Structure 1
Amino acid sequence: MISVTSQDRRHEIAFRVCAVPAGGVAMNRPLGVLVIGAGFIADAHIAALATQPGARLAALVDADPGRLAVAAHRNGGVYATADLDEALAREDVDAVIVCTPNDTHAAIALRVAAAGKHLLVEKPLATTIADAQAVAAAFATAGLTLTAAHTHRFYDYGRTVRRAIVSGELGRVTLVRLAILGGWIWPDWNAWVLDPARSGGHPLHNGVHLLDLATWWLGAEPRTVHARGARVTSAALDIDDHLEMVLTDENGATAICEMSRAHRPGSFGHRDVLVAGTQGVLRLDWQDEAALVVDEKGITGLPATAADGFAVQLAAWLGAIAGEPPEMTAAEGVRAVALGVAAQRSIETGEPVDLDDLMTGAHT
């Protein structure tokens, strides 16, 4: 076997995607990708597409005509429409990226599966466990690739910690401590993410990043989630903007996760990782600013340099479409929804929530 660098692997994946597209029929063109939703997160996915020689932006869909026109112009006049069925019927569309509000994910995903296209959907996969299971079943039946975009798995820090744990260097991991703290609120007080009916609540919209990542690091099935929330920015919020979540897994390991959108000053972010095992401890600290420059003009933050997690994630998705083992399975996407729902329910009841009961019972 010939080993290849990450750059070589990206080209290898690109070639394979061109050779074996969605329907399994060979073609000699890049994989055509439809992006649904033209908001700010779509820009990150479209930029990632530009890094892949074997895939291209084929079309855009958005319900807002003005936003759609701007996005199409910004992307070279790519085909754009408000009609989802029309876009899904295009012969040059082989796969789809969904960047719409959380409460629309399940319905759109089912239409994508019915159209025979592969899907990368912004997390969460759905806002209820039942809907997430239905989506996963539809793609499994159709033999299509389904990936929930839990991007933190593809950031440098997420993969670094995962490698250290899998290597066995730390021994049996007994504790994970993960905190991601920031001060921004989305993107204004009228944003859909502040409506729990649309977002599923903060644990499902943002807290799920940490719950999924900690579960992936530990490599075992989660058993319980115990959480509490606070409305720090304003008591008028309909969601908790500060979360404390404790996860236990089948091996007895504990993950303590803290997610905040309430810290000040809002321009600074902080991440802290601690992993304790029977043979060692891993510590990883981070601030948004890789360095601070102090001069007569004041203090300036220099951004950190790291691999683009969206590009790494996209390459993995394209690899899965081409037949490689998926790095985020559909079942893991469903489980992540259950973790977020469990955290929200725990906040509401004040009690730990059993994942098995939640997944197998009538709860959604």
Structure 2
Amino acid sequence: MEQRSVPSRIGTLLVGAGFIAEVHAAAVTASDRAHLVGIVDTDPGRAAAFSRSHGAIPHTDDLAEALAWPDVDAVVACTPNHTHLGVGAAVAAAGKHLLVEKPLATTVADAQALAAAFAAAGRVLMAAHSHRHHGYGRTVKDAIDAGVIGSPAHVRLSILGGWIWTGWDAWAADPVASGGHALHNGVHVLDLATWWLSADPVRVYARGRHQTAAELRINDYLEMVVEYAGGEVAVLEMSRAHRPGSFGLRDLRVVGSAGMISEDWADEAAFLFTEGGTGLVAAAGVDGFGAQFESWLDTIGGAPPAMPVSDAVRAVELAVAVEESVSTGRPVELGVAA
């Protein structure tokens, strides 16, 4: 572990005052190792409103101005996906650490450029793949790493919901701003399956639908198959098309050489099926965003990253390959998608 000299309380700047910023702000204020030092948003009125609701913290619409504030040590970026390269490059140039909402970027080249910029700056870059830090994601990973199902060979993971963002004009439904449904939401299941399997993805085949309405500009329902170098396979679904809008379901199976883990949305504990019988792998309720923020602070202090930059780049590569496969109707070899 490389120890770094860091302030006792890391001054954290939020960039972007949308709804997800509230979740990140809560994680910052709940930590005894950080404090919220300001908010940046391109809409001055929204920045001012966020400031008023968070103790009158400094606010501006100018990122360069905020990065020059003396008490800013690190940044949490909650901006639309297509802005991540520009925001991240500015943060790296200013010598600050960055936690950026997933995906790391909307193209593989941009993700690699961000990784290189932070490596050169000697600062921590972490993509906010929050599902790695939720109780269910961590429980499955710990059970696999403990060897309770032997060598994992197959993941079946569905995250289905009926929430179509905040409106038809929301940036998340814009294929340019979001990169598409695979990058904005599908990236969660793509990353989880690959992390659980600890395997190298080699091929992606996917289908998508405009399920909610033909006028929707992105696919709100995705089916994705990922093949890995060791013969492992992941079959994944990500939906924002299910109705009613309050609908929510998570369903997962991880099959290994010596057993299977099964878990659903209603029960954070995982069922364990082995030759010795059945049981439960308990999962305590976890604030995934809080755990993620603390993990980032750990990494700033020199701990190994829970979400390595290389994994974040790989998640972008997978999601871009999904979008290409949906568009062409053909499988996509990893390392070929751009």
Task: Indicate conservation of the 8 Å contact 1:268/1:287, yes or no.
Answer: no
Q: Per-residue deviation at 1:288? A: 9.2
Equivalent of residue 30 in structure 2, options 51, 54, 57: 51
Task: Indicate conservation of the 8 Å contact 2:268/2:285, yes or no.
Answer: no
2:326 aligned residue: 347
Map of 1:7-22 to 2, 5 A cutoff?
20-21=5-6
Task: Indicate conservation of the 8 Å contact 2:136/2:268, yes or no.
Answer: no
Q: Does 1:61 align with 2:48?
A: no
Equivalent of residue 87 in structure 1, options 66, 80, 93: 66
1:123 aligned residue: 102
**1:46 partner SS:** helix
**1:306 partner SS:** coil
**1:356 partner SS:** coil
1:149 aligned residue: 128
Q: Per-residue deviation at 1:54? A: 1.1
Q: Does 1:196 align with 2:181?
A: no
Question: Which moved further from structure 2: 171-180 or 317-326?
Answer: 171-180
Task: Indicate conservation of the 8 Å contact 2:135/2:284, yes or no.
Answer: no
Q: Output the amino acid matched with 1:20.
A: S
Q: Output the amino acid matched with 1:260.
A: S
CA RMSD of aligned residues (A): 1.8
- Counterpart CA distance in 2 for 1:288 and 1:75 is 34
1:334 aligned residue: 313
2:228 aligned residue: 249
CA-to-aligned-CA distance 1:256-276 (integer Å, 9 cap, x gap): 110110111211200001011
Task: Indicate conservation of the 8 Å contact 1:269/1:288, yes or no.
Answer: no
CA-to-aligned-CA distance 1:282-336 (integer Å, 9 cap, x gap): 110114999xxxxxxxxxxxxx982110000000000000000001111111111
Equivalent of residue 114 in structure 2, options 135, 144, 151: 135
Q: Does 1:97 align with 2:76?
A: yes
1:183 aligned residue: 162
**Unmatched segments (≥5 aa) in structure 1:** 1-15, 22-26, 291-303, 359-363
Q: Which TM-score applies when normalising by structure 1?
A: 0.86
2:272 aligned residue: none
- Counterpart CA distance in 1 for 2:268 and 2:76 is 30
Of all paired residues, the percent bearing the same amino acid is 56
1:164 aligned residue: 143
Q: Output the amino acid matched with 2:215.
A: A
Change (3 A) 1:288 1:59: farther
2:199 aligned residue: 220
- Counterpart CA distance in 1 for 2:201 and 2:30 is 35
**Unmatched segments (≥5 aa) in structure 2:** 270-282
Q: How many residues align?
A: 324
Q: Output the amino acid matched with 1:71.
A: F
Task: Indicate conservation of the 8 Å contact 1:224/1:352, yes or no.
Answer: yes
CA-to-aligned-CA distance 1:43-98 (integer Å, 9 cap, x gap): 00010112211100011100112211111011100011111111001110000000
Q: Output the amino acid matched with 2:150.
A: G
- Counterpart CA distance in 1 for 2:245 and 2:94 is 43
Q: Per-residue deviation at 1:165? A: 0.9
Q: Output the amino acid matched with 2:160.
A: L
Q: Which TM-score applies when normalising by structure 2?
A: 0.93
Task: Indicate conservation of the 8 Å contact 1:102/1:123, yes or no.
Answer: yes
Runs of 4+ with >2 A deviation: 287-290
